[in-house]
Amino acid sequence: MRVPSIKTLEAWTRCPVTARRLRYILKASRSTLVTLPGAADLDAASYGRQPTSRLRMEALDAVAGTYGVEGFRLHNGDWVEYLNAGDTYTPTILKWRGNYHLRDWGTLVERHGAD
């Protein structure tokens, strides 16, 4: 699994502490994720076991201060989850093909199409 570097995250957040927290979450195990804000809330409210990637995205959302976790399916069937940053072309953290990226999701949809 690839994740953005601390340097990349720091440029996005403009805060070294927040960048380190985000990187920590991106590399955290499931047992750590279920103790973090956002992920702990989702885990406690769920009857079934949530996917680790969903817990990770919820924890990232809590730290990044974005507007929730959303997702869509591309024409080729790939599922993309992203942190809602408020605008289609604002860079955000997204999960696509098992990797985490810092990019806007609008360009991804333009290139690959969405259902």
Per-residue pLDDT tens over the stretch 88-106:
999 999 999 999 999 999 9
Residue 52 counted as domain residue: yes
- Domain ranges, residue 63: 6-112
Q: What is the CB neighbour count within 10 angstroms for residue 95?
A: 23
Report how far residue 48's alpha carbon sits from residue 62's, in angstroms, rounded to the nearest whole number. 21
Residue 1 counted as domain residue: no
On the CB side of 49, how many CA atoms lie within 13 Å of its CA? Answer: 4
Alpha helix segments (H runs only) across the chain: 6-13, 16-27, 30-33, 39-45, 52-64, 105-112
Tell me the whole-structure pTM to 2 decimals.
0.94
- 115 pLDDT higher than 90: no
Count of residues in the chain: 115
**54-88 pLDDT tens trace:** 999 999 999 999 999 999 999 999 999 999 999 99
Residue 13 counted as domain residue: yes
Report the domain count for the chain: 1
